[in-house]
Amino acid sequence: MIDPMVSLAFSLYSNPGAYALLLGSGVSRAAGIPTGWEIVLDLISRLAQLEGEEPEPDPEAWYRQKFGEEPEYSKLLEHLAGTRAERSALLRSYFEPTDEQREEGLKMPTAAHKAIVSLVKSGYIRMILTTNFDRLLEIALGEEGVTPDVISTDDALKGAPPYVHSKCSIVKLHGDYRDTRIKNTPSELAKYSRALNKYLDSILDQFGLIVCGWSAEWDIALRDAILRCPTHRFTTYWTARGTPADEAQRVMKHRRAQVISIQDADSFFVGLSESVEALANLAAPHPLSIPVAIERTKKYLSEDRFRIALYDLITGETEALYERLADSRFDPYAPQGLNEEYKRRVDQYESLVEVLANTLITVVWFDSARHCELITMAVERIANRPIGIDRFHESLRNLLWYPALLLTYAVGISAVSREHYAHLRAALGDAQIQLINRRESAHAVLLPDNVLGKSFKQVFQLATRHTPWSERIFATCRPWFAQYLAEDKRYERMFDLFEYLLGLIYWDQVRADWGPVGCFKWRYGYRPEDNPIPKFVQKGLAQGNDWPLLREGFFGGSVDRFKSSREEFDAWVNRIAWW
């Protein structure tokens, strides 16, 4: 299945201007802007202080008992500020930054606002519905030379140009903080004017929706407007942190919304903007998440100022993969039809790992050893998934490591190709795998024989093949290197070099009179001149202890130790007789 985030990015790219944003208080919260109800409660507290009374723990109840009516925004302002100028100054304190707040970045446009501006400037977003009173969007747009058509009252709605002719329309459904008629209380939020309802009906029918930071709990009129709309021409995407509330779920069900789990508005809109930008750069004809991830990775590697964004991207992709792999359908119990289940899981693991594998390949290919810790983190996280149950089938338990094994191959082939051995060490040596009673480096655990082994041969009926697991990984990884190792023969050589090094490193570190053997054992029997291993070794030994492989700590940094381990491992490989 396509990730909803990828689907949204492609939908925006393919249908510029067809989606409207629906933004709630969650979008401005990071800027330190209070919600409308928080302002009402604070105003009540200020009023109580003037009365010499204590409104806590329930300011709303205090006001109702004191004045015999529901708290209304405009009446509170009249109590607290006698003139229009005083009321304006009081309101601005909630929305406009002081010099100190400005230095701290508070009450200023956030990364989310700036990413939205990027989408507006590129023509992907033209309609924004918001329940917020602040002007952060208008400020962010103005900084980029975009003047939106702002509708915050019925009078403004009458004079507004048709939205089809607007570069950007911002509909402030509950008003603007500089207008004391803004809607705050439950009664004010329960009903819209006939003109605004008619306007909303048209938008909700003709536009797809991207909902962010809106709970659907308190805004009764807006919720009703969405629920009464019988049709919608484009998809609704609903972002959520955790489980949406009941009213939100009712609206989502009505709109048949696709749910996107997010950490916060900033990371969501920045990621969306960059994904759409990547699709535009690629002119992608299909919603492919892999090219988008690769383009974003390249961008983040290009300048040091993107190091945090790169970290967020890698950790985000790693956690997304971890969550998918943690699904109960991958529990290693022994179901009926074990062979078919085993085959299904092999296929699904290979599909699920593609995005992260391609991202790590790109990091290794272009990085200058600045981000090796991201490689270690990703391999460790995916390899150290808990089994989750006491009883399990051994073949399915071992198969849990298959995604991590594929990641080590992706990193390893890329590292060998580029002679980036710091990344190889990060994946094989620095990454630690937690076993039952000890921790081991990845090179001692993530081996095709351990992860696949005899079970793979039996299930896929490949008993006559010498290294069927190696051949499977070879075919799986091939498309991932299409843009880096376009020539098949070069990919083949790099794959075999990595597998040879994997076996040699295992032999050197574990010395158990056994080592993993891959396709390199038999591939060059009739064409020894194509065998890359002798040339690789000769080139490395010519550099002595300055060989980058040794400088990264492999083989104890010693040429002599490398030679000794190689001699023993090659003897072991030559003793194997499959025919």
Higher-scoring residue by pLDDT: 138, 80: 138
What average pLDDT does range 502-508 have in this prediction?
94
Q: What's residue 347's pLDDT?
A: 87
Higher-scoring residue by pLDDT: 2, 169: 169
Residue 238 lies in a domain: yes
What average pLDDT does range 522-538 have in this prediction?
88
Task: Indicate the range of 281-285, 336-340, 366-370 predicted with least confidence.
Answer: 281-285
Identify the bridge partners of residue 261 per DSSP, sorted by sequence position: 240
Q: Is 470 helix (H, G, I), strand (E, B) or coil?
A: helix
What is the full DSSP assignment across 355-373?
A: HHHHHHHHHHHH--SSSHH
- Residues ≥6 apart with Cβ < 8 Å to 286: 10
What average pLDDT does range 278-299 have in this prediction?
71
Q: What's residue 281's pLDDT?
A: 64
Residue 193 has pLDDT above 60, yes or no: yes
Q: What's residue 285's pLDDT?
A: 36
Q: What's residue 287's pLDDT?
A: 39
CA 88 to chain CA centroid, Å, is 41
- Tell me, yes or no, whether 187 and 164 share the same domain: yes
- Tell me, yes or no, whether 391 and 440 share the same domain: yes
Query: Per this entry, what is the length of the chain?
Result: 579
- Tell me, yes or no, whether 99 and 116 share the same domain: no
Residue 336 has pLDDT above 60, yes or no: no
- Tell me, yes or no, whether 92 and 111 share the same domain: no
Q: Is 510 helix (H, G, I), strand (E, B) or coil?
A: helix
Q: What's residue 29's pLDDT?
A: 81
Average pLDDT, the chain: 87
Q: What's residue 429's pLDDT?
A: 93
What average pLDDT does range 547-563 have in this prediction?
95
- Tell me, yes or no, whether 261 and 331 share the same domain: no
Residues 16-55 pLDDT 10s: 899 999 999 889 888 888 877 788 888 888 888 888 888 8
Residue 573 lies in a domain: no
CATH number for position 247: 3.40.50.1220
d(CA 33, CA 164): 31
Q: What's residue 88's pLDDT?
A: 65
Q: How confident is the model at residue 66 (pLDDT cuts 50, 70, 90)?
A: confident
Residue (of 562, 436, 553, 416) closest to 497 by Cα position: 416
Q: Which two tokens stand for residue 33?
A: 């802007």
Q: What's residue 466's pLDDT?
A: 82
Residue (of 240, 275, 273, 242) closest to 258 by Cα position: 240
Task: Indicate the range of 366-380, 389-403, 536-550, 553-567 predicted with least confidence.
Answer: 389-403
Q: Which of 103, 138, 157 is the last residue of a domain?
A: 103
Q: Which of 45, 74, 103 is the last residue of a domain?
A: 103
In terms of C-beta distances under 8 Å and separation of at least 24 residues, what long-range contacts does 522-531 make, across chains too?
522/466, 522/467, 522/578, 523/492, 523/496, 530/489, 530/493
Residue 328 has pLDDT above 80, yes or no: no
- Tell me, yes or no, whether 163 and 23 share the same domain: yes
How many structural domains compose the chain? 3
Residue 539 lies in a domain: no
Residues 264-287 pLDDT 10s: 999 999 999 988 887 776 543 343
- Tell me, yes or no, whether 195 and 297 share the same domain: no
- Residues ≥6 apart with Cβ < 8 Å to 124: 12, 13, 16, 17, 19, 276
Residue 380 lies in a domain: yes
**Whether residue 162 has a cis bond before it, omega within 30° of 0:** no
Q: Which of 232, 266, 300 is the last residue of a domain?
A: 266
Residue 72 has pLDDT above 90, yes or no: no
Residue 430 has pLDDT above 80, yes or no: yes
Residue 91 has pLDDT above 80, yes or no: no
Residues 35-46 pLDDT 10s: 777 888 888 888
- Tell me, yes or no, whether 118 and 99 share the same domain: no
Q: What's residue 528's pLDDT?
A: 84
Residue 84 lies in a domain: yes
Residue 314 lies in a domain: yes
Residue 329 has pLDDT above 80, yes or no: no
What average pLDDT does range 392-416 have in this prediction?
90
Higher-scoring residue by pLDDT: 224, 576: 224
Higher-scoring residue by pLDDT: 67, 110: 110
Predicted TM-score of the model (pTM): 0.61
In terms of C-beta distances under 8 Å and separation of at least 24 residues, what long-range contacts does 104-109 make, across chains too?
105/31, 106/31, 106/32, 107/31, 107/32, 107/33, 107/134, 107/136, 108/31, 108/136, 108/139, 109/31, 109/136, 109/137, 109/139, 109/140, 109/143
Q: What's residue 337's pLDDT?
A: 61
**To the nearest 10°, the Cα dihedral for 415, 421, 424, 426?**
-130
Q: What's residue 422's pLDDT?
A: 96
What average pLDDT does range 127-138 have in this prediction?
93
Q: What's residue 425's pLDDT?
A: 96
Residues 227-243 pLDDT 10s: 998 877 789 999 998 88
What average pLDDT does range 110-127 have in this prediction?
93
Q: How confident is the model at residue 338 (pLDDT cuts 50, 70, 90)?
A: confident
Residue 339 has pLDDT above 50, yes or no: yes
- Tell me, yes or no, whether 471 and 333 share the same domain: yes
Residue (of 358, 355, 568, 350) closest to 483 by Cα position: 358
What average pLDDT does range 374-383 have in this prediction?
96
Residue (of 292, 444, 419) closest to 364 by Cα position: 419
d(CA 156, CA 195): 11
Say which amino acid occupies 291.
Answer: P
Residue 297 has pLDDT above 50, yes or no: yes
Task: Indicate the range of 323-337, 451-465, 551-565 predicted with least confidence.
Answer: 323-337
What average pLDDT does range 206-230 have in this prediction?
90
- Tell me, yes or no, whether 79 and 228 share the same domain: no
Q: Is 538 helix (H, G, I), strand (E, B) or coil?
A: helix
Domain of residue 73 covers: 36-103
Q: What's residue 84's pLDDT?
A: 62
Instruction: For strands 169-172 and 125-130, give the pairing.
Output: parallel
Cβ atoms of 408 and 379 closer than 8 Å: yes
Residue 545 lies in a domain: no
- Tell me, yes or no, whether 176 and 206 share the same domain: yes
d(CA 77, CA 47): 9
- Tell me, yes or no, whether 76 and 137 share the same domain: no
Residue 359 lies in a domain: yes
Q: What's residue 555's pLDDT?
A: 95
Q: Is 150 helix (H, G, I), strand (E, B) or coil?
A: strand
